Structure 1
Amino acid sequence: MPGLGDGEVVHYGELGCWVVADPDAVRAALCERRLSSASLARCLDLYMSEAARARNGSLEEILTRWLVQLDGTDHAELRKQIGPALSPARVRALEPEVERIVDDALDQLEAAEERDAVALVSDVVPARVMGRLLTLPEVDVAMLYRWTRAISAFLDGVYRQDAAEEARRALGEMCDRLAAAGADRERPGGIWDHLGDEKYRLATASMMLFGGLETTASLLGSVLHHVVTVPGAAASVRAEGDSAAHAITEQVLRTHPPLSHVARVADSDLEIQGERVPAGGLVLLSLNGRDVIGEPHAPALGSRYTHAFGHGAHYCLGAALARTEAVVLLRRFCTRFPHAASEEARLARHENSTYLRLAGLRLVLGAAG
């Protein structure tokens, strides 16, 4: 495969796509109106047979209505409806609940015989936060991740029929549960009133649940790994509080973003860094400064920008909530377990080239603070 140097755009002819990794080029491309966000349909055109698409039509129908797949008026109107549900004021109001959820997870971590911070903390916290936000009456953490990880496996390999069928089943179960939560909501004016009309409501709710779990769990695992392996990191959080926790969160978002890349489709012929991309061309924009096809799990080069939440019109509406969860977790964890360390010499990640997350993080907690 061709190499990817600074400022270079590489065409992978066998895959029918272009890869952009230079941070400045990525930043510009994220605001380029000729690059459409409706990438899933194009990926299915390229990589899935018509028969397979017909068998899994309900999967495509929901996912192509996710806000991240929309552009123009559809995107702007739906974003305007959803925005108040995740506004800074709403996130601030939710912070005491996040603190309670984090404290409960840390209780479970301390009481466990095998202290895997991924299974007991970084997976649990976003699941319970999103359960609270979407008014799910019960939160079965394992079930939620079974759904979201089936969907992430499909999005990572849309050409795989087994992944498509499993994702279709998972998304169906997820939407059934979300529909019941929306119908049974007790308080008018809650988040369900912000999720658009019936055409988009379940699509938006499923997108929020998926993003709120998959990407936030990855972020929380990575910030915990940082403070138990980088000398002085935990001490800085204890001494400086939220300012240090915010700085660590931003560093992790730059160097180990939960999402390795986003896809765009050229609406018309255009040029990126001197490389011609024809109309219909699939463009993968790296969020960590690396070639997302060659070695997606290699250490990230990082970026002068935090691209983890996107940029421009599609900047992630859940960014404030994800950052809040990370900062609260760092503050509570570093205060409570000042001597925590990792048992593992090597960082292991799940085998998914698009959604990057820790496979586990076993800790020795030491004396409590």
Structure 2
Amino acid sequence: MQNTAHTNLAEAPEVTMPIELRPTDCLPELLAAARVAPVVRIPYLDQHAWVVCDRELVKQALTHPKLGKDVTLAPDWMRQPGQMVTAIPPPEYARMMVMSDGEHHARIRRIHAPVLSPRNAERWSERVAALVDGFLDNLDSTAGAQVDLITDYTHKIPLAFTSEMLGLPPGAERRLHDITEVMLYSADYALRQQAVGELFEAVQEWVRNPAGLREGVITGLLASSDGPDATVTEGEAIVWTLSLIINGYETTGSLISAALYEALRRPARERPHTDEAIAAWIEETLRVQPPVPHTTWRFALADLDLGGYLIPKGAPVQISLAAANLDPDEDADSFDARRRGRGHLSFGRGAHYCIGAPLARVQTKIALRGFLRRFPQARLSADTAPQWESEWMIRRMSVLPVLLA
């Protein structure tokens, strides 16, 4: 028990979670740690972070007024190179949506809303379908062979679409891919920090020299930054573009991969065939195969009582979406299409609900439907196993070997 004014509150038990990137799927370990108690403590950077695991407490934490997300709340000991890529550059330059609160967050969300709205997502579906058809045509040329869907299909779609949506110049996709691979998945934090700088420099170059850009989100933001009544600064155009890249393409690629994995590990007759079944399949994939097992950071604005456990003022807090999505008796291999993903929290809740959710769903629906219709007899390789890369905040399949038929 805590020897403080909160003597009636329990101290969250200490457990370990895989916080460093591993070439495995860490989800079973994350779920095992989450079952120890509704709130747990994790050793982190020689200090502690708190993790909220219980479903009802997770719902509370996602909307709790005393759990802030503003980057200025992050303690100095967390600001280590390569650790908090969403906390760079400093907030006085510009804030990212996922690391802001209050009017800062509301303003950024208002400006992004017309671009990332469900209506726009549907409007873009025709373009996504054209990209998907092109990548499927490429796969068609290798019919009968074994392919890696990660490199040949699932991640190509959101990378191409994000580049097009932003209006990036031709050739930018490869540059983005190479930088983000290091920034998100390198085990070397010095290299991660270097990659953050390279991405910042690339986006800064595009924003400051927009002549080579196609019409898209960046030119739209720049149009809002002209004149005496500018609503968007140059720095904000840069940082918000960074955020769309970091939080957009990689997680969508992971969702497409997981949805296809769940389909291809089953007989063709058990796979989704109608648009309604495909939509339900995607929601169930989000429930049991979340690309982001834990949310981005929150920070306690005061001593908090959460389910009878003390979260002290200033504590960094993670919220386990992966644990909250599952029933107590479920494990990491609990996909059941009949559940239709009911109750999952993979896109969050409240003011910070993922604004890009409609785009992620549209891209995944078109990618899953297109592949299963073009290759109805495709199956997982019997000789080469799928591979994963993950830690507590990000998770993806790194290799998905499939035989096309």
Normalised by the length of structure 1, the TM-score is 0.84
Residue 143 of structure 1 and its aligned partner are, at CA, apart by 2.0
Provide the residue aligned with 1:324 in structure 2.
362
In the other structure, the counterpart of 1:295 is none
Equivalent in the alignment of 1:248: 281
Describe how 1:27-106 pairs up with structure 2 within 5 A: 27-38=59-70, 42=74, 45-48=76-79, 59-61=88-90, 65-106=95-136
TM-score when scaled to structure 2?
Answer: 0.77
The code of the aligned residue for 2:168 comes to: L
Match of 1:165 among 151, 172, 194: 194
Q: Deviations over 1:54-109 (max 9, x none)?
A: xx999432797111101000100111111001112211111110000011111122
Matches of 1:307 and 1:233, distance apart in 2:
29
Change (3 A) 1:285 1:115: same
Tell me which residue corresponds to 1:214. 250
Q: Among all aligned residue pairs of Structure 1 and Structure 2, give the percentage whose two residues are the same amino acid.
A: 25
Paired residue for 2:310? Answer: 276
Structure 1 pair 26–300 and aligned structure 2 pair: CA distance change class (3 A): farther
Which structure's residues are more often helix, by fraction? 1
Find the aligned partners of 1:354 and 1:90 in 2 and give their Cα distance: 28
Rounded Cα–Cα distance in structure 1 between residues aligned with 2:398 and 2:126: 29
Match of 2:11 in 1: none
Cα distance in 2 for partners of 1:23, 1:188 equals 36
The 3 A distance-change label for structure 1 pair 257 and 139 is farther
Kept after mapping to 2: 8 A contact 1:245/1:327:
yes
Q: Matched residue pairs, number?
A: 349
Alpha-carbon distance in 1 for matches of 2:374, 2:220: 33
1:116 matched residue in structure 2: 148
Pick which of 298-307 and 278-287 moved more. 298-307
CA deviations over 1:9-31 (Å, ceiling 9, x no partner): 01235541111122221121110
1:149 lines up with 2:165 in the alignment: no
2:232 maps to amino acid: D
Alpha-carbon deviation of 1:313?
0.2
Deviation sequence 1:311-359 (CA, Å, 0-9, x none): 1101111100100011111111111111010115643212444221111
Aligned-CA RMSD value: 3.2
Q: Secondary structure at the match of 2:388?
A: coil
Please state how far the C-alpha of 1:163 moved relative to its aligned partner: 2.6
Task: Tell me by how many angstroms 1:185 deviates.
Answer: 4.6
Secondary structure in 1 matching 2:323: coil
Correspondent of 1:267 among 301, 312, 323 = 301
Give the match for residue 29 of structure 2. Answer: none
Q: Secondary structure at the match of 1:93?
A: helix
Q: Does 1:229 align with 2:259?
A: no
Task: Output the CA distance in 2 between the equivalents of 1:324 and 1:76.
Answer: 25
Runs of 5+ unmatched residues, structure 2? 1-13, 16-32, 226-230, 326-330, 336-340
Q: Which position in structure 1 is the counterpart of 2:378?
A: 340
- Are 1:349 and 2:393 an aligned pair? no
Query: Among 350, 355, 360, which residue is 1:312 paired with?
Result: 350
Name the residue aligned to 1:176.
205
Shift of 1:184: 4.2
SS in 2 for 1:358: strand
Q: 1:285 aligns with which of 305, 309, 319?
A: 319
Mapped partners of 2:135, 2:175: distance in 1: 18
Greater mean alpha carbon deviation, residues 131-140 or residues 66-75: 131-140
Choose which of 229, 232, 237 in structure 2 pairs with 1:197.
232
- CA distance change for structure 1 residues 6 and 191 in 2, over 3 Å: closer, same or farther? farther
Change (3 A) 1:186 1:334: closer
Distance in 1 (CA, whole Å) between partners of 2:151 and 2:321 is 26
Q: Distance in 2 between matches of 1:281 and 1:166?
A: 28
Alpha-carbon distance in structure 1 between the residues aligned to 2:217 and 2:54: 46
Unaligned runs of 5+ in 1: 292-297
Tell me, yes or no, if the aligned pair for 2:293 and 2:322 is still in contact at 8 Å.
yes
- SS of the equivalent of 2:389 reads coil
SS of alignment partner, residue 272 of structure 2: helix
Structure 1: how far apart are the matches of 2:86 and 2:299?
21
Alignment pair present for 1:257 and 2:253: no
Check 1:186–1:106 CA distance in 2 against 1; reply closer, same or farther (3 A cut): closer
- Partner Cα separation in structure 1 for residue 372 and residue 64 of structure 2: 41
Contact 2:159 2:173 in 1 (8 A): yes
Residue 140 of structure 1: how far off its partner (Å): 4.2
- Taking a change above 3 Å as real, the CA distance of residues 330 and 205 of structure 1, as seen in their structure-2 partners, is same
In structure 2, C-alpha distance between the alignment counterparts of 1:127 and 1:187, rounded to whole Å: 15
In structure 1, the residue corresponding to 2:40 is in which secondary structure? Answer: strand
> How has the CA–CA distance of structure 1 residues 26 and 232 changed in structure 2, closer, same or farther, with 3 Å as cutoff?
farther
Structure 1 residue 118 displacement after superposition: 0.7
3-state SS of 1:349 partner? strand
